[in-house]
Each structure stands twice: as C-alpha cells, then as structure tokens.
Amino acid sequence: MASTQQSAQEFLGNGRNLLTRSHLNCDPVIEALNQCKFFQTHELNSIESVENSQDKINIILDIVIAKGEEACYKFLKILDKKRFQVIPRPGLVLPDLHHWISCFSFQDEPQSQTANKADSDPCTTYQGLLRWKARQILDDKWNLSMNFLKNEQKRKPFTYIPLVMDTECSTVAKLKKNKGYKKSRSKKLKTYIPTDKKMLSPKDLLMNDEKSILLVGKPGVGKTTVALEILRLWTEEKSIPVSYVFYFDEPLMRVFSQSPYPQTLKDLLFQKYICPDEESDHVLENIESNSENVVLIFDGVMDVIVNSVIIQLMEKKLLKDAKILTTCRPEAEDTGYLSDWQSYRVEVQGFNHKSIYEYFKWMLGTTDDIGALKNPELFSLCSVPLYAFIVAACIFVSPAEARNKPFTVTEIYVRIFRFCMKQHGHQDVEHLDKYIKDNKRDIINLALASYKAMLAKTVNLTDLDHEDKSVQNAFLTKQFWNPSTTSCKVYAFLHNTMQEFWAALHIILNPDKITTLLDQCQSDEDGKYLKYIAPFLSGLLADNLFELIKCLVPVEQIKATRVKYFQQIIDTFLYTKEQNQEGDCEQFVEADNILFVCRCLYEYQSADACRIFLEKVQYELDLKDQTLDPYQCCVISYVVNQAVHRKIELDLIDCSITDPGLKLLLSSLKNLKFLRSTSMLKSQMWRVALEAGQFSDFDSLLSLFSFKMHLSALETLDQKVFQRIGEVLKNKRSAISVHLILHVNGEVITRSLQKAIFDSLPNIEVIGYKQFTYLFFSHFF
C-alpha cells in the first residue's frame, strides 16, 4: 500500500475503503475546501443533505475524484494538514489513516516521506500518537472556553491572534512604578495597550536555540494560548524539526508542585501523558538519545516544585538537550524555584491595538457598530485577551441584538467578575452563585483594598490579609519590588478600570459611604480619580444586574440604596459644589457634566431617571465645542431617546464627531426639537444617514433642517448614496412641499459625477444650477 508512485487520484481511489470505514470528522475538511471555493453550491447541498457520516464521505469522495488529479491532490493535502483534527486516534479498532496519509508523496514536501521509511517504527508511531494527543488537547481546551458562549457560536474554530511578547518588562509595570496614577486618564488607558517592538511569535520560541524559556504574564494575558499555539504549529507544520512534544497543563503542574509522583521520566511521559502502543522502552531510549528533538511544555509553573523529575528536566539533568518551555504568573517568578532558574525570559503582554481589532473581527465577523470598540476604556481593557474574550462573548449574543439592547459597561465587568471567579474556582455554572457567596469574605477584602488604593491614588493594593487566595489570584497580578515596603508583594489589578469597578463593589456593599464618596468627588484633587467609581456604582444599582449580583448584595439592599442615593449621585456630577450647596439648580450646566451624568444614566438604564435629568436641564443639552467619541454619542442618544411628551434642544455647534458617533446619534433625532450645528456637521449627518440608508433618520433630518438636504464634499459620495437620495425623494411624494437643496462645495464636479447625479435622481427637475459651485434641485408634486 505504501506506493509513493501513485497519482493523487489513484491513491485516493485505493484508499476509499479505508476512508469510509474510519469515522472521519468531515466538517473541518469541508470547511477548508469551502474556503478555497472548491465545491459548487449544488455539490455542497448534496453533501449537507445527508446525516450519516459514511454516506457523507462517499459523496465527498465521488465529487473529489470526479474533479480529477488536482482536486484529489488538494483534498489529500488538506486531509494531511488537518489529520490530527480529522482522523481518529490510530492503533485502535479503526484503520490507521495516519499511517495511510503519511504514505502519500506530496511533491512539495519531500520530508513527508520519512514515515514511509519508518513504516512500522514504534517511535514514528508514537510521534503520530503525540500529534493526535496534541490535537485532542487543543480541541478540548478550545471547547472548554467556548462553553461560555451560546450554542450556535461554539463551533467557531480557534484562531491565534498575535500577542505582544517582549524580553523586557511591560510599560504598564513601569507606569505603576512611576506613579502612573498622575497621568491623564486617556494617556493612562493607552499605556495599558502594549506595543509590539520585538515581534516575537510562538514559532520563534519553538524554533530559536534557547533551551530554557520562561513565559511570564498576568492572569489571562495569553500564556497558555502561546503554549498551545506552539503545540498546534508542531501538529500542522511538518517542516518543524521536532520529533516529540509533550504538553503538561496547569492542573497537572499543580499536582507536580505538591507531589513527588511520578518518580521517573518514563512514568511522567508515558503515564501522565500518553503511553506508546508498543515497545515503550525502545521509544524512551529514542527520546533520551535524541533529546535535541524533544520539547516539553510546563504550563503554569508554581513557585514551589516538589517533583524531582520536573526539577531534573528543568535543570537539564534529564534530556539535557531538550527545549523546556514554562509559563508562569509574575508572582511565581521572583520567589521559590523559578527565581534561580537560568532561562530566556519572555513577557506575554497581551493584544496590541491592531490585535484587539483583529480579535473582534474574528470573534464577531465585523468591527462595525461594536460599541465596546468605541468606548476607550473597554477598548483598552481588551488588551487583556481574557477580558476581550468576555467582552466579545457579551456582544456575541448577537451583534444585532446587542445593538438593540446593548450591555452596559458595568454588566460586562460583572460578567468578567463572574467568569474569573468561575475559572479560578473551577465551578459549574449552577454552583457559581454559591461559590461567590462562600468566598464573600475575600471579595469584601479585595473590594476594600481596591477602594483604599483609589483613595490613596495608587494602583498598588496593600492591606490584603494574606496572599495566595483564589479570589486575589483571579484578578490581581504582582507588579514589582517596592523598595519602600518590607515586602516584595505589591499587587495591582490588570487594568485600572477593573480597580474602579471593585471600588464600586465596595461602595455597594457599604452604601453608607456614598455620601462621603460624593463629597470627595466634588473636590478638585480627589474627584478627578474617584468620580470614575460613579458610573460603575450606577450600573450596579440597575435592575438588569440584580440577577448577577444578588449572591453578593441582597436585592432589597440595592433597591433601598438607589432610592436613597441615586438622585444625590446625579446632582453631585451635574452641578458644581457651590450650586449644590446653594441649591441653585437652574444655572448653566457644563457640557462635561452633562456627558458624565449621561454616562451614569446609561449604566443605570432607567427611563424615569433620564426624564428627571432632562427636567433638571430643562430639556436643553448644550454640548458646544466638544469632541465627542462614539461612546459619548451612544450615551447621549440613549438619554435623548427616553424623552416623552417634550422634545429636546441639542446644541452641537463646533462639535467634532466621527461618523460612527454620528450614526449613533441619528436614532435619537426624532426626539429633538432643535439641533444646532454647523453646516459642515449637517452635511456630515446627511452623508452618514444616506450611507446607512435608514428612512426614519431621513425624515428626522428633513424636519430638523426645514426640509433642506445639505451635502457638501460631494466628491466623496458614491453611486449608492445618490440612489438613496433618489429613494428619499421618491418616498416624499405624498409630502406637501419638499424642498431639497444640494450644496456642492467641491471645486470641480466632473461630468461623470454630474451624470451620476442626474441618472440617480430621475424625478428631479433642476431649477437652479451654477456650475462648479452648487446644484439646486427642487422636487415638485
């Protein structure tokens, strides 16, 4: 059977019987073939119309073989690349397709023939087994983390998004060292997003000459993912000159940190990982005598390691030329065993700016209209991949659904809180509430430490009763040696906004502190930092979070707190200290204050509270001269949308707003009585509305702008937009008088553009036309 002379078509034809009997997992093959547009629609339909996997394989083989040599080659190539995902474990009752596929001679990969030479070599068979095991681990780990998602999303295959890895310390650590709290908020948020200077990749780590590698990083930053990516590369890329890769995950490493067992290399590799089907002594001998071809990955090394085999491997007393790659959190690095381990240290720092986008594009299929990406704080939070995963999972519910009923920022943090508790407690979802209750004391302590650190304007938490509690480990990371204290343990949250969230948790657990906090928020110095607790506090008081936090704070307590304090929260941030003291609440309200209060209202999600606020500002929102980011537009739009019976005056004169922000504002235009803005902004609104194609927005714009359509910079508009203008006009047929003006400020309107305009607007009669400056249309009925 090992004829390497066969053509791909012959080889596939001869292997047909084996393939149909082998319980092949067809989906990844179909998916890969589909990606290269291999199937026609009717072919795909016929494959998908059958349930039975044997029938499915038969149909696929019929199609592939009928397509000829090139198609068969492509099919074999995919099967080979994905074999550890697609082909069941060899050596059981099933035919050994791993061996079968390795017998085909791929022209561009002569090394793939090595298996032929070694036909029945137990070492080669064991290497196949290791690859199969690696594939299982990859699938299991991914399926486990996808459990968090809804069913229909779970089948998404994993994609590795580049992580920043560096041999130097992260800038965040430096930020903390240099009292980063003094930085402006937006600068600080940016500091959390790492930049990729070294461009190190998992492949570099696998291929470089370093024999002892220590991957260090905060919880959830991607260490395990890097280790697993190395494992995946090895299973998929035949050119990698490594014969044996063993991966020991965190639960196993925890066992090795406390137990002397296993006591021999053979037991470690064959009992704790996977045993060869035959001649295990021979295989072990081969591993020992070719240790330069061995990689061992120890994921999640603790500060203490009791197991002597692991120690001997790390100290090169066993398998002296093997590559040992370990991962650990910062707290395990400086004390205990790892502090003296001679190694090449690489810090995993998380996603950079580009990767955050790439990650959301992969998870959600798009980055358009994703609120989280428009909120600078959430965006920066997503540099920690674990947090990005939960943010994406929250939106995942369905992007459309999320847009209609978006998650508040607080809800996302509460979900992160619950997810991290679950991961560290290894709890089933049903028991998570109980686990949270059982750990309430530690949660209370951490919340208090967080609040105290905020009062002290630092990100470094002190006063934690003792280390190594699972709650602390789930959220904190050790930062750096602090020479001013006697202890080297200085802990901080992974992101400053997480600290603010925890401080808000402290306040909701101790509502009697609200008045003092609000007083402090009105002081110029402290208020700058402390006020960011308020949006989270508002969110925690909201109805929609009762279910998620009632295991921590009784619902009755939350209700009583909001009745007593919510108005006070709003007033504190709406008026100045003097206005509040004088009770003079009829005065001018600063745009910054309006924006901040709208943000709290958005978190609080109560239409009544919005109306009370609108009454207070007399239905006038003066946001002159502001630069509004899309998230601010989202909160304004939310508040404006809550108005009933009375319409709002919105002043956006000299505001700078990007297109995504304007898009969010458009939906609230129906509730405006006046919209003050420059003609540039009007024109931008029209363009955004026309591009989005929402007819209800056109109506609102027409009535707000006295039935005048302003459009400048027409050169940037495409044919589709002109068609929309035509549609707007067509839809206005029943209107009594619609008067539309197209202002064109561009210098030269090309002939083709003029033609495009006239072609798109067949119902228009041009009543005024001045070449190169403006076009004036009127629509008669």
Ligand X SMILES: Nc1ncnc2c1ncn2[C@@H]1O[C@H](COP(=O)(O)OP(=O)(O)OP(=O)(O)O)[C@@H](O)[C@H]1O
Residues near 409 by beta carbon (within 8 Å), at least 6 away in sequence: 375, 377, 378, 535, 536, 539, 603
- 383 interacts with ligand X by CB under 6 A: no
329 binds ligand X (CB under 6 A): yes
- Sign of CA pseudo-dihedral 199, 203, 205, 211: negative
Q: Minimum Å distance from CB 488 to ligand X?
A: 20
The answer to whether residue 325 forms part of the interface with ligand X (CB under 6 A) is: no
Nearer to ligand X, 300 or 371 (CB): 300
73 neighbors 12 (Cβ within 8 angstroms): no
The verdict on 394 binding ligand X (CB under 6 A) reads no
User: 161 or 685: whose CB is closer to ligand X?
Assistant: 161
Q: Using the rule CB under 6 A, is 498 a contact of ligand X?
A: no
Q: Does 371 bind ligand X (CB under 6 A)?
A: no
x/- map, 288-317, ligand X, by CB under 6 A: ------------x-----------------
Cα gap 761→195, rounded to integer Å: 49
Nearer to ligand X, 145 or 499 (CB): 145
Residue 335 or 557: which CB sits closer to ligand X?
A: 335
Query: Which CB atom, from 222 or from 535, has the smaller least distance to ligand X?
Result: 222
446, 475 Cβ separation under 8 angstroms: yes
Q: Which of 593, 510, 592, 580 is nearest to 552 (CA)?
A: 510
Q: Which of 386, 609, 669, 725 binds ligand X (CB under 6 A)?
A: 386
Rounded to whole angstroms, how far apart are CA atoms 370 and 327?
33
What residues from 676 to 705 belong to the interface with ligand X (CB under 6 A)? none
Which stretch of DSSP H or E encloses residue 50?
none
User: Which one, 84 or 389, has the nearer CB to ligand X?
Assistant: 389
| Of the residues 220, 262, 276, 511, which one makes contact with ligand X according to CB under 6 A | 220
Query: Per rule CB under 6 A, is residue 224 in the interface with ligand X?
Result: yes
Q: Does 86 bind ligand X (CB under 6 A)?
A: no
Q: For strand 491-493 and strand 656-657, is the pairing parallel, antiparallel, or unpaired?
A: unpaired
Nearer to ligand X, 145 or 380 (CB): 145
Q: Which is nearer to ligand X, 301 or 729 (CB)?
A: 301
State which of residues 63, 86, 221, 394 lies at the interface with ligand X (CB under 6 A): 221
Task: Spell out the alpha helix ranges (H) of 550-652.
Answer: 555-574, 577-582, 591-604, 607-616, 630-641
Q: How far is the CB of 386 from ligand X (least distance, A)?
A: 4
Cα(607)–Cα(602) distance, rounded to whole angstroms? 9
Residue 667 to residues 209, 380, 700: CA-CA distances in angstroms?
58, 27, 9
- Told to check if 122 binds ligand X by CB under 6 A, we report no
Contact between residue 55 and residue 93 where contact means Cβ atoms under 8 Å apart: no
Q: Which is nearer to ligand X, 224 or 445 (CB)?
A: 224
User: With DSSP H G I counted as helix, E B as strand and the rest as coil, what are the percentages for the chain, rounded to 5?
Assistant: 55, 10, 35
Return the DSSP state at 110. G
Does residue number 225 form part of the binding site for ligand X (CB under 6 A)? yes
The vertex-252 CA angle with 384 and 230, nearest 5°, equals 55
CA gap 476, 221 in Å, rounded = 12
Total site size for ligand X, rule CB under 6 A: 17
Which of these ranges, 38-46, 117-125, 155-163, 715-723, lies near ligand X under the rule CB under 6 A? 155-163
Among 138, 163, 284, 636, binds ligand X (CB under 6 A): 163
Q: Which is nearer to ligand X, 115 or 390 (CB)?
A: 390
Residue 217 binds to ligand X (criterion: CB under 6 A) = yes
Identify each DSSP E strand in 320-404 by its residue range: 323-328, 344-350
Distance from C-alpha of 96 to C-alpha of 628, rounded to nearest angstrom: 62
* CA atoms within a 13 Å half-sphere pointing along the CA-CB vector of 385: 27
- State in angstroms the smallest separation of the CB of 359 from ligand X: 6
Query: What are the CA-CA distances from residue 67 to residues 40, 43, 58, 217, 233 (Å)?
Result: 11, 12, 14, 50, 31
User: What part of residues 124-153 is at the interface with ligand X (CB under 6 A)?
Assistant: 145
Nearest approach, Cβ of residue 174 and ligand X (Å): 20
Query: In this chain, which stretch among 72-80, 103-111, 216-224, 508-516 interacts with ligand X, using CB under 6 A?
Result: 216-224
The correct pick among 180, 276, 385, 660 for binding ligand X (CB under 6 A) is 385
Q: Which is nearer to ligand X, 156 or 316 (CB)?
A: 156
Query: Residue 298: in which H helix or E strand, if any?
Result: strand 294-299
Q: How far is the CB of 350 from ligand X (least distance, A)?
A: 8
Judged by CB under 6 A, does residue 223 bind ligand X? Answer: yes
CB of 142 to ligand X, least distance (A): 8
Peptide bond into 262 cis (omega under 30): yes
Scanning 115-123, 191-199, 213-221, 556-564 for contacts with ligand X by CB under 6 A, the matching segment is: 213-221
Tell which one of 73, 100, 389, 619 touches ligand X (CB under 6 A): 389
Q: What pairs with residue 627 in β-bridges? A: 656
Strand partners, 164: 350
What is the spatial distance between Cα 304 and Cα 280, in angstroms, rounded to a whole number?
31
Whichever of 223 and 323 has its CB closer to ligand X, that residue is 223
CA distances 458 to 37, 130, 184, 379, 380, Å, are: 55, 48, 14, 22, 19
When asked if residue 60 is in the footprint of ligand X (CB under 6 A), the reply is: no
* Contact set for ligand X, span 230-259 (CB under 6 A): none
- Spatial CB neighbours of 576, under 8 Å, sequence gap ≥ 6: 522, 590
CB 391 within 8 A of CB 412: yes
Region from 60-68, 382-390, 528-536, 638-646 binding ligand X, contact rule CB under 6 A: 382-390
Minimum CB distance to ligand X, residue 493 (Å): 14
Q: Does 160 bind ligand X (CB under 6 A)?
A: yes
Is 219 a binding residue for ligand X by CB under 6 A? The answer is yes
Residues that bind ligand X (CB under 6 A): 145, 160-161, 163, 217, 219-225, 300, 329, 385-386, 389
